[in-house]
Amino acid sequence: MREEVRKTLSDFFTAFENLDWEKFRNAFADDATVFYPREFPDRANGRSEIERQFKKVFEQIRGRKATAPYMDIQPRDLGIQIMEEMAVVTFHLDDRPGFVNRRTVILNRTSTGWKIVHLHASEVAVNSETPKAF
């Protein structure tokens, strides 16, 4: 099961890096929730709210570079916990200087594969006194 979860995450990261909208949006369950730290202070509930938020994110990213891949997502300290039909994945990203970017992805195993049911993104400002987590 762990390898299935890793493959699902790899496919999700690749879709996000390439801004492949259909593959990206299909990674989420219809009733998923998302906390995204930068522009959206409220929780996105369900597919329509998640898609509304991430369409804006995709537009912003596309504005920075002309061709895919638009990003290079390199998760650090990847942790995977599997509990029956659920998986909790945590990792860090180095995608914003001066910040530790933390991610939690919760997946549910369905008849069509693993689907993201919750994505939580947060970031913490790093200064010389902040211990580095990784």
Per residue in 75-127, pLDDT (tens digit) is 999 999 999 999 999 999 987 788 889 999 999 999 999 999 999 999 888 87
Which domains, and CATH codes, for the chain?
A: 2-124 (3.10.450.50)
Which residue, among 63, 79, 62, has the nearest Cα to 17 in the 3D structure? 62
Statement: residue 27 has pLDDT above 90: yes
Burial of 67 (0-12, 13-18, 19+ CB in 10 A): exposed
Cβ proximity of 69 and 19 under 8 Å: no
% the chain with pLDDT above 70? 94
Q: Identify the residue with better confidence: 126 or 8.
A: 8
What is the pTM (predicted TM-score) of this model?
0.88
Res 129 pLDDT > 90 = no
Contact 28, 49 (CB under 8 A): no
Please report the pLDDT score of residue 112 as a whole number. Answer: 92
pLDDT of 130 reads: 54
Longest Cα pair distance anywhere in the chain, in angstroms?
48
